[in-house]
Amino acid sequence: MKGATKKPRTDLGRLVTEKPNPVSANLDLKPSLQLARIINSEDAKVAAAVKRALPQIAQSIDIIASALRRGGRLIYVGTGTSGRIAALDAVECPPTFDTHRQTVQFIIAGGLKALGAAVEADEDSPKLGEREIAKKKPGKNDVVVGIAASGRTPFTVAAISYARRHGAKTIAVTCNRNSPLEKAADLAIVTEVGPEVISGSTRMKAGTAQKMVLNMLSSGAMIRLGYVYGNLMVNLHQKNEKLVDRAVRILQLTTGMGRKAAQKALRKAKNSIPLALVMSQAKVNRAEAQRALKAANGHVRHAIAAARSL
């Protein structure tokens, strides 16, 4: 039954991502330049595999944006490389988009220690997968994304099944079609990258595909929510000199101000780029800009339009 939590059969040899790659036969006999060429030529196939999954990626972006707009969460689940890629995407969202750290979360088999050391045994436990996702109390406003190159990792399949039973929208990100993970989720993003250069080393092409997909999911959802203005990260945290300088340049690019004028505008806006943009583009004061942003749920372009009509 779709969504069931029984442990998937272990038939890894039949998975495309586990098969030997004829392109890289006798790899250990190749000179370094040829090694690099082989890896590079195989990597070139990843973007095409992701391209074939763009309709499902776009659908997922809309699902995630809708959930976050309602105050829900995006929760990634993965093991090993998949879990580490999930963690990377999740922790980059607060500094890039000024989201709360609870908005985009990750679960990795083995916990935080697995980010720096392999904890392989935990990925075989459906019970641990259920236990870890249960701690998050997934519900109807949440989206849970399970990531597994093989599509059969028991930890991840069980977590997705649990989340779906409890009303969360669920998305599978995998590199093998018709997998247990795909069957457990509401929607699947399948990037068929083929056999790895080093057989079974899914940190390579499969991992690259996963990184590309997660980039699109989180960035796409944040763009839909209005946390990007044009193609500029207007919600960034100004935590160091580089980011403070970027904030000034963003305001210059969007308004045509000189550097000193942009710095002054930011000071008036208490160093908030969205506030500075609404104030400068709609010619309103800080309080009016704050009200417009609140009414627009932080969507900068919508807030500017609303403030102009005041």
For residue 123, indicate whether it is catalytic: yes
pLDDT for the residue 3: 45
Instruction: Classify domain 241-308 at the CATH class level.
Output: mainly alpha
Cα 234 to its chain centre, rounded Å, is 19
Model confidence pLDDT, tens digit, residues 93-149: 998 998 999 999 999 999 998 998 877 768 889 999 999 999 999 999 999 999 999
DSSP reduced 3-state for 167 = coil
Asked whether the beta carbons of 163 and 170 are under 8 A apart, the reply is yes
Segments of the chain assigned to CATH 3.40.50.10490:
12-224
* Backbone φ/ψ region at 145: left (φ over 0), alpha (ψ -120 to 50), beta: beta
Give the chain's mean pLDDT: 92
Q: Provide the token pair at 279.
A: 């104030």
Task: Select which of 18, 42, 120, 123 is catalytic.
Answer: 123
DSSP 15: S
Whole-angstrom distance, CA of residue 26 vs CA of residue 214: 33
Whole-model pTM over 0.85: yes
Asked whether the beta carbons of 193 and 179 are under 8 A apart, the reply is no
DSSP 232: B
| Higher-pLDDT residue of 59, 10 | 59
For residue 92, indicate whether it is catalytic: yes
Report how far apart the first and last C-alpha atoms of the chain are (Å, whole number). 55
Segments of the chain assigned to CATH 1.10.8.1080:
241-308
Pick the CATH number of 12-224 from 3.50.50.60, 1.10.3470.10, 3.40.50.10490, 3.30.420.40: 3.40.50.10490
Model confidence pLDDT, tens digit, residues 243-299: 889 999 999 999 999 999 999 999 999 999 999 999 999 999 999 999 999 999 999
Hey, what amino acid is at 48? A
Q: What is the mean pLDDT of residues 229-253?
A: 89
DSSP 9: P
What's the full length of the chain, in residues?
A: 310
Burial of 144 (0-12, 13-18, 19+ CB in 10 A): buried
DSSP reduced 3-state for 164 = helix
Model confidence pLDDT, tens digit, residues 157-213: 999 999 999 999 999 999 999 999 999 999 999 999 999 999 989 999 999 999 999
